[in-house]
């Protein structure tokens, strides 16, 4: 039996569990924001990813992300498909203190939540069958290549791009895929549908915030000072972003909005993600304030442009991921983490340019590919629900269930 470090292994199992909890948290967050006839329709899209993504990850997803280096470093190979050659004694190549099975599980939780993030944009407009096809194709052709290029020692990593926990890989790609989805499926017939449950949004936010400690601190893949730095940076950025959003909205609409506070927190969490283990605590404060301001403005721009991104996936996750990746190019410090380059603030102009080029390229690819993919899926199975189904609500029309007994709400 291999002699693994119990502290590192135990912590990574805990971090894996925290990231797993984020997907139900996302379902609650989106479920609360949705109209009352579409609660289950949006929640099942998150939960079903837990099943399908796990199957894909075991079959070939993990291997394509973290094995080999094909097509010039764009994607991996099938060497570790079905976990071939990996047993309980196999150490993780990136940190031999823990088994590779633990890293496999940790990264699987990221793969589960990333496509689920997109679903908030097209709530109550997409058929479940087409979503399942989308879930598979988007992971294979968008998510897996970017995981490999950034985290699997692929093209972008070797070029010098850094992304601590998913600004490019998770949030930017999902956010701009969400925008493409919204433009493809068009607007809802009833855009005035209010959130059905603000307490449910609050529960979802709490679970996301809690799980994000595993998302960011766990991405150090060890237990050391950088783990602690990523943890506190995560909390501080979320807190400053939440209050910044609250103050801006309060000053404009003259009332302090609870949903605004919660949305600001998620924006801060998304924005600090790529930088969490690479920047100082002071820089995390700046990133949090910037997240609250810029993501609020992005949501305002979305409304002005008439994009019906129902739950603000683009403004919060897409713009947050982009902003955090670019600000990493400004504030990254080798004194904090020698695994990165110094950012623009410390003379690293080249690193800053690489971060900008990488995140812009990721956004363009995710947007264009998602739009084309939806058009191709529509040739096989209808993507957009019919008018009668949309008016009735997807809970009953597609799933034959309802969230609450009619006599309760």
The model's pLDDT over 345-401, given as tens digits with 9 standing for 90+, comes to 999 999 999 999 999 999 999 999 999 999 999 999 999 999 999 999 999 999 999
pLDDT of the residue at 248: 98
Q: Which of 72, 116, 285 is nearest to 208 (CA)?
A: 116
| Polymer length in residues for the chain | 409
Give yes or no for a contact between 44 and 20, defined as CB atoms under 8 angstroms apart.
Answer: no
* Dist CA 375 CA 386 (whole Å): 16
96: three-class secondary structure by DSSP: strand
pLDDT of the residue at 384: 96
pTM: 0.96
Q: 41 Cβ partners below 8 Å, 6+ apart?
A: 34, 123, 124, 128, 393, 394, 395, 398, 399
pLDDT of the residue at 190: 74
pLDDT of the residue at 1: 67
pLDDT of the residue at 408: 54
Q: CB burial class (10 A; 0-12, 13-18, 19+) of residue 304?
A: exposed
pLDDT of the residue at 247: 98
pLDDT of the residue at 164: 98
177: three-class secondary structure by DSSP: helix
6-381 is classed in which CATH architecture? Orthogonal Bundle (1.10)
Q: Which residues of the chain have pLDDT under 70?
A: 1, 406-409
* Dist CA 325 CA 275 (whole Å): 7
Residue 6: count of CB within 10 angstroms of its CB: 10
Q: CB burial class (10 A; 0-12, 13-18, 19+) of residue 229?
A: buried
DSSP 83: G
């Amino acid at each position: 039996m291999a002699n693994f470090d119990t502290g590192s292994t135990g912590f990574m199992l805990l971090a894996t569990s925290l990231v797993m909890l984020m997907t139900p948290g996302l379902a609650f967050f989106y479920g609360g924001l949705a109209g009352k006839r579409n609660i289950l329709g949006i929640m099942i899209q998150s939960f079903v990813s837990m099943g399908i993504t796990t199957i894909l990850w075991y079959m070939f997803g993990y291997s394509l992300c973290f094995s080999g280096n094909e097509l010039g470093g764009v994607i991996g190979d099938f060497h570790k498909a079905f976990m071939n050659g990996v047993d309980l004694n196999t150490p993780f190549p990136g940190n031999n203190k823990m088994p590779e099975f633990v890293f496999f599980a940790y990264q699987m939780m990221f793969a589960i939540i990333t496509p689920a993030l997109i679903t908030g944009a097209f709530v109550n407009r997409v058929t479940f069958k087409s979503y399942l096809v989308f879930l598979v194709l988007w992971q294979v052709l968008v998510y897996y290549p970017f995981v490999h290029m950034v985290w699997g020692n692929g093209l972008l990593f070797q070029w010098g791009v850094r992304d601590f926990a998913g600004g490019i890989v998770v949030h930017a790609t999902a956010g701009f895929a969400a925008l493409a989805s919204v433009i493809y499926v068009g607007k809802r017939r009833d855009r005035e549908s209010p959130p059905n449950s603000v307490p449910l949004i609050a529960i979802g936010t709490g679970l996301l915030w809690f799980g994000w400690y595993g998302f960011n601190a766990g991405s150090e893949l060890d237990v050391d000072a950088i783990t602690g730095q990523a943890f506190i940076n995560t909390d501080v950025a979320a807190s400053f972003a939440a209050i910044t959003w609250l103050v801006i909205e309060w000053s404009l609409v003259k009332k302090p909005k609870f949903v605004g506070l919660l949305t600001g927190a998620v924006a801060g969490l998304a924005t600090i993600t790529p930088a969490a283990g690479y920047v100082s605590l002071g820089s995390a404060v700046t990133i949090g304030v910037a997240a609250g301001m810029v993501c609020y403005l992005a949501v305002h721009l979305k409304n002005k442009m008439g994009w019906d991104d129902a739950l603000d996936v683009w403004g919060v996750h897409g713009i947050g991921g982009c902003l955090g990746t670019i600000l990493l190019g400004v504030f990254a410090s080798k004194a904090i983490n020698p695994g990165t380059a110094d950012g623009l603030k410390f003379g690293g102009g080249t690193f800053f340019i690489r971060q900008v080029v990488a995140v812009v390229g990721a956004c363009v690819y995710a947007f264009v590919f998602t739009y084309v993919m939806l058009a191709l899926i529509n040739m096989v199975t209808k993507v957009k629900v019919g008018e009668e189904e949309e008016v009735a609500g997807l809970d009953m029309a597609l799933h034959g269930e309802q969230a609450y007994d009619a006599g309760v709400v």
